[in-house]
């Protein structure tokens, strides 16, 4: 089988599938407080449609699938979908990204369904700060969900994603580093990207990975040392020199990794996006519902991937064009 390849020679192996644009949080860097326009339910891919596309993508060379949203846990029967995708031969990694709010109830069924990897978003360890950034008073529920996850070692590692926002995140960087030493969690800081609904992103609000790394090294008794990672990996991973605790940095703004990007995304309504910052997308739902064969879908997918964007232009001033959707509508 020909690999999935774009016109710059990048081989695509990683697919993020959004299963809903809805969410029970309203994070300020992602969604507006209200007035969100939801995709009508009949336009959202059914689990059967998701599975059919996932199987096809894996046959074409995708090895890593992450289920995301919106908030994937607000969609009914998520463990059922996981159990179906878990059975796909040749899929090497199946994971979800969640805000953690429903994990206390879902950790067990997700583990039983075969989930082995998870990313939980957590931007603050202080209840008031958490409530400010997510617009929900829910820190306790997320921390209980994380505790529950620890009961299922098959789901490992537990990665925590924290968006680095200047003026907000600095005061908790050290607390997150201490958490990474105290708990079996890999803490990862993600640079704030211009994918928020309210248009509040400014370059000067991006707290860079480098700055956070320096803050940690200055405050902690043990320094962080880099761990070699796969070149296609988005994150730079460090371990404390005494071997106790891991911290990662995803730096799409200050250190773009477009040259090795092997990722594509499928939105909840079945639009294929070849870059987070795409301004065009390819409809897979229409042909799927019109009865297209796998060969016909393959042709559409290969043509879309061939046109994958060279890079984002966040740092190119007037050349930067905001994506036509927010992070929650794309599937981060």
Contacts with ligand SAM by CB under 6 A lie at 23, 29-30, 68-69, 71, 97-99, 121, 161, 163, 190, 192-193, 195-196, 327-328, 332
Contact predicate 322/194, CB 8 Å: yes
Q: How far is the CB of 193 from ligand SAM (least distance, A)?
A: 4
Helix (H) or strand (E) holding 163: strand 158-164
Answer with the entry of ligand SAM, ligand SF4, none that 26 interacts with (C-beta below 5 to 8 A by kind).
Answer: ligand SF4
Nearer to ligand SF4, 31 or 220 (CB): 31
Burial of 76 (0-12, 13-18, 19+ CB in 10 A): exposed
Residue 234: phi and psi, rounded to 5, are: -80, -20
Residues 80-99 that bind ligand SF4 (CB under 6 A): 99
What is the distance between the alpha carbons of residues 246 and 275, in angstroms, rounded to a whole number? Answer: 28
Does 234 interact with ligand SF4 (rule: CB under 6 A)? no
Judged by CB under 6 A, which stretch of 41-49, 64-72, 179-187, 308-316 contacts ligand SF4?
64-72
Is residue 25 a contact point for ligand SF4 (CB under 6 A)?
yes
**Distances in Å between the alpha carbon of 45 and those of 48, 67, 78, 286, 292?**
8, 13, 13, 10, 15
Q: What part of residues 107-146 is at the interface with ligand SF4 (CB under 6 A)?
A: 121
Shortest distance in whole angstroms from residue 279 CB to ligand SF4: 21
The entry of ligand SF4, ligand SAM, none near residue 68 (CB within 5 to 8 angstroms by kind) is ligand SAM
Distances (CA, A) of 293 to 22, 88, 272, 289, 290: 30, 19, 17, 10, 9
Q: Does 72 bind ligand SF4 (CB under 6 A)?
A: no
Cβ-count burial 122-142 (b if 16+ within 10 Å, e if not)? bbbbeeebbeebbebebbebb
Residue 31 binds: one of ligand SAM, ligand SF4, none (C-beta under 5 to 8 A by kind): ligand SF4
Task: Determine which residue in the list 69, 245, 252, 270 makes contact with ligand SF4, applying CB under 6 A.
Answer: 69
The site for ligand SF4, by CB under 6 A, has a size of 13
Number of other CB atoms surrounding residue 258 within 10 Å: 16
Q: How far apart are CA 240 and CA 227, in angstroms?
A: 10
**Residue 127 or 223 with smaller CB distance to ligand SAM:** 127
Interface with ligand SF4 (CB under 6 A), residue from 30, 45, 91, 305:
30
- Which one of ligand SAM, ligand SF4, none is in contact with 196 (Cβ closer than 5 to 8 A by kind)? ligand SAM
């Amino acid at each position: 089988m020909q690999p999935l390849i774009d016109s710059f020679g990048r081989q695509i192996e990683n697919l993020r599938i959004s299963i809903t644009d809805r969410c029970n949080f309203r994070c300020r860097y992602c969604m507006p407080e209200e007035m969100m326009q939801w995709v009508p339910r009949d336009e959202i891919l059914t689990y059967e449609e998701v599975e059919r596309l996932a199987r096809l993508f894996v046959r074409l060379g995708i090895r890593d699938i992450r289920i995301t949203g919106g908030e994937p846990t607000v969609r009914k029967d998520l463990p059922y979908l996981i159990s179906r995708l878990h059975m796909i031969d040749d899929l090497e990694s199946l994971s979800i990204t969640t805000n953690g709010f429903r994990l206390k109830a879902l950790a067990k069924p997700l583990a039983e369904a075969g989930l082995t990897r998870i990313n939980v978003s957590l931007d603050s360890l202080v209840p008031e700060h958490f409530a400010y950034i997510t617009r929900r008073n829910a820190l306790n529920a997320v921390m209980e969900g994380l505790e529950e996850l620890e009961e299922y070692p098959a789901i490992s590692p537990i990665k925590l994603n924290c968006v680095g926002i200047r003026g907000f995140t600095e005061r908790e960087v050290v607390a997150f580093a201490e958490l990474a030493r105290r708990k079996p969690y890999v803490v990862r800081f993600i640079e704030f990207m211009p994918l928020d609904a309210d248009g509040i992103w400014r370059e000067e609000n991006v707290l860079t990975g480098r700055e956070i790394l320096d803050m940690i090294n200055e405050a902690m008794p043990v320094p962080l040392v880099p761990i070699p990672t796969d070149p296609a990996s988005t994150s730079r991973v460090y371990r404390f020199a005494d071997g106790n605790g891991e911290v990662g940095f995803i730096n799409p703004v200050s250190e773009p990794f477009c040259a090795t990007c092997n990722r594509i995304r499928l939105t909840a309504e079945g639009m294929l996006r070849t870059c987070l910052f795409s301004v065009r997308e390819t409809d897979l739902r229409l042909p799927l519902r019109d009865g297209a064969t796998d060969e016909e879908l393959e042709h559409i997918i290969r043509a879309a991937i061939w046109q994958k964007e060279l890079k984002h232009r966040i740092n190119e001033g007037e050349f930067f064009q905001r994506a036509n959707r927010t992070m929650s509508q794309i599937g981060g």
